[in-house]
């Protein structure tokens, strides 16, 4: 049994409340630790002076990077949500890392050493696979068969968590059009990452463009040759973890804005009421879907992800509107959330991608 979080009631645990008034998605024993660790590093991570993985590795020591690998995903969604209330970059990095774990679980493979505790980073370079399946893009890495595997060439326009000695998972396609999911070590010869910097937010997420030149992938590093089946098994957790950090950002923005509810002679009360109702309904929906992701309907998950992103943008805008000039200072938490929310329409799956899939049904 879970309780739908409420911005107005602020039902977070007493230990967590000592640090944060943001409601929990669901309660769990380590919540206060998660909030504190993320808050301690938030400003440094936002300034690209610290890596999100400094926090993730500490959470890995507590077993909080591998929650919900079987059955309910809700324990992991709750951690990602809480990280996002303090630092979207850290929540985003955990989403990418935890998605990589999901990819190995989907095919019954043991995790590479270090992935479970975050001492090795996981990078999901899977955007092209989802776009290709939806008919809104193509796979840009080719695979030429060899005696013991494949040789890869092409580009990965965007991926994150591209740290040295990490594990990346990506789609490839042969000259005959056969598609595969493979895993590559980020330090592999020919896997050349060009970091992307000067982003509006998430500058510390080790995101970048990757040129793939004659990278050898042995046969044992092919995770799947059934891409449609693979995507069907990983899409729900992939998208629900994204929806979770959208909800966390929304909760933080709405909570921060609460004290201004009656500002300007109360003209924003209706806006607050509408966003809080959306938050309650979406939280309830994400909780329901995350409790049994294997049974979640595809359209339900797509809509939850899109609606959660829309709510995060609206909540961040409302916060900035009512907080006023103090929130416009670039180093403020309000400004950070506004910048973080601006990323959501372009994160893969992008808003255009999601809307296209939903319209197609």
CATH of 23-106, one of 3.90.550.10, 1.10.260.40, 2.60.40.10, 1.10.540.10: 1.10.540.10
Range 287-299 average pLDDT:
97
On the 0-12 / 13-18 / 19+ scale of CB atoms within 10 A, 80 is: buried
* pLDDT at residue number 10: 37
DSSP 294: G
As a residue count, the chain comes to 361
Asked if residue 3 has pLDDT above 90, the reply is no
Asked if residue 17 has pLDDT above 90, the reply is no
Range 212-221 average pLDDT:
98
Burial 114-142 (b: 16+ CB within 10 A, else e): bbbbbebbbbbbbbbbbbbbbeebebbbe
User: Would you list the domain boundaries of the chain?
Assistant: 23-106, 122-226, 228-360
Query: HSE (CB half, 13 Å, CA atoms) of 11?
Result: 13
Dump pLDDT digits (tens) for 124-160: 999 999 999 999 999 999 999 999 999 999 999 999 9
* pLDDT at residue number 21: 86
Q: What is the CATH number of domain 228-360?
A: 1.20.140.10
Confidence class of residue 5 from pLDDT cuts 50, 70 and 90? confident
* pLDDT at residue number 4: 59
* pLDDT at residue number 143: 98
Is-contact 46 201, C-beta < 8 A?
Answer: yes
Cα 306 to Cα 299: distance, rounded to the nearest angstrom? 11
Cα 42 to Cα 317: distance, rounded to the nearest angstrom? 20
Domain 122-226 has CATH 2.40.110.10: yes
CB count in 10 Å sphere of residue 299: 12
Confidence class of residue 11 from pLDDT cuts 50, 70 and 90? very low
Range 343-351 average pLDDT:
96
Measured CA distances, 243 to 236, 239, 277 (Å): 10, 6, 17
Is the peptide bond between 349 and the residue preceding it cis, with omega within 30 degrees of 0? yes
Please give the backbone phi and psi of residue 121, each rounded to the nearest 5 degrees, phi first: -85, 150
Dump pLDDT digits (tens) for 36-90: 999 999 999 999 999 999 999 999 999 999 999 999 999 999 999 999 999 999 9
Is-contact 345 309, C-beta < 8 A?
Answer: yes
* pLDDT at residue number 317: 97
* pLDDT at residue number 135: 95
* pLDDT at residue number 200: 95
């Amino acid at each position: 049994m879970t309780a739908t979080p409420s911005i107005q009631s602020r039902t977070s645990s007493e230990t967590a409340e000592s640090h944060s008034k943001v409601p929990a998605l669901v309660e769990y024993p380590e919540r206060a630790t998660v909030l504190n660790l993320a808050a301690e590093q938030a400003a440094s991570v936002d300034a690209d002076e610290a890596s999100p993985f400094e926090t993730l590795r500490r959470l890995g020591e507590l077993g909080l990077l591998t929650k919900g690998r079987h059955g309910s995903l809700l324990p992991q969604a709750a951690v990602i949500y809480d990280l996002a209330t303090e630092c979207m970059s850290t929540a985003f990095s955990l989403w990418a890392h935890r998605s990589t774990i999901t990819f190995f679980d989907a095919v019954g493979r043991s995790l590479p050493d270090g992935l479970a505790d975050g001492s090795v980073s996981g990078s999901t370079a899977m955007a092209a696979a989802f776009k290709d399946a939806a008919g809104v893009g193509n796979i840009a890495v080719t695979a030429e068969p060899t005696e013991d595997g494949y040789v890869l060439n092409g580009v990965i326009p965007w991926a994150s968590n591209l740290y040295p000695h990490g594990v990346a998972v990506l789609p490839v396609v042969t000259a005959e059009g056969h598609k595969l999911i493979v895993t590559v070590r980020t330090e592999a010869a020919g896997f050349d990452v060009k970091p992307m910097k000067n982003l509006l937010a998430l500058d510390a997420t080790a995101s970048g463009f990757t040129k793939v030149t004659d990278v050898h992938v042995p046969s044992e590093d092919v995770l799947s040759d059934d891409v449609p089946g693979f995507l069907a098994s990983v899409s729900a957790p992939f998208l629900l973890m994204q929806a979770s950090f959208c909800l966390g950002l929304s909760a933080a923005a709405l909570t921060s804005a609460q004290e201004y509810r009656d500002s300007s002679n109360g003209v924003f009360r209706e806006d607050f009421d509408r966003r809080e109702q959306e938050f309650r309904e979406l939280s309830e929906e994400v909780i329901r879907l995350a409790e049994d992701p294997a049974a979640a309907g595809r359209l339900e998950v797509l809509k939850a992800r899109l609606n959660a992103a829309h709510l995060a943008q609206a909540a961040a805008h409302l916060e900035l509107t009512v907080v006023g000039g103090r929130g416009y200072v670039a180093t403020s938490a309000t400004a950070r959330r506004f910048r973080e929310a601006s990323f959501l329409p372009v994160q893969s799956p992008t808003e255009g991608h999601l809307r296209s899939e939903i319209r197609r049904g």
